[in-house]
Amino acid sequence: MSRNNRRYRDLKRQISQPSPQQTLAKDELGQVLDNLNAWGFLEDQQQADHRDILCFGPGVFRGYLPVTWAGVTLWHKPRGYYFYDTLGMLGIWAVRPEPGVLRVLVGTRQLSYALPFFNPESYYRRIQQEFRTFYQDNGSPPPDDQCRYSVTYDAACRLEMRRAIEDEIIRWASEQHTAGQGW
């Protein structure tokens, strides 16, 4: 075998084998959200034709204080030019409140506009990709009183949990049609 062929074979072998760091770096919270189809549920709502709100996202967020958490969120606002002062957020979060315990939350939050001025051109361009510039929030889980669904994660019951999460998101969507513009 020629020297070039051996080099080529060795390079292919190195590329095809994951490094030890890649195999060890498993994201348990992200895996929980993936198992529950969090991104898919929120993406469906973002693409749905809501009568009274505009939906953006979804986006992935992560934090470590006060507890370790990861979440997928959708952000929304009432339709109309002047409704920028409050942004709603719907999300699915995986939270580790203590070692060995994983909780799944579905909840909503309200974010207040944080900048001293409003530039509609930059706002409507940026809000489609991210909200942190204007609302200075990190996408953290909601307080307990704003949780719509909360359960301890059990991989054996994930299909039932998926159904419950989907039902809760559908319930949220139907409430948006009845809420109207009166935020």
* Contact yes or no for 95/68 (Cβ under 8 A): yes
Q: Tell how many helices (H) and how many strands (E) occur in the chain.
A: 7, 5
Task: Average the pLDDT over 28-45 and give the result.
Answer: 96
Q: What is the pTM of this model?
A: 0.82
The closest alpha carbon to 127, from 84, 91, 92, belongs to 84
Q: Which strand (E) or helix (H) includes residue 4?
A: helix 3-16
Q: In the chain, helix, strand, coil percent, each to 5?
A: 40, 30, 30
Task: Average the pLDDT over 69-88 and give the result.
Answer: 94
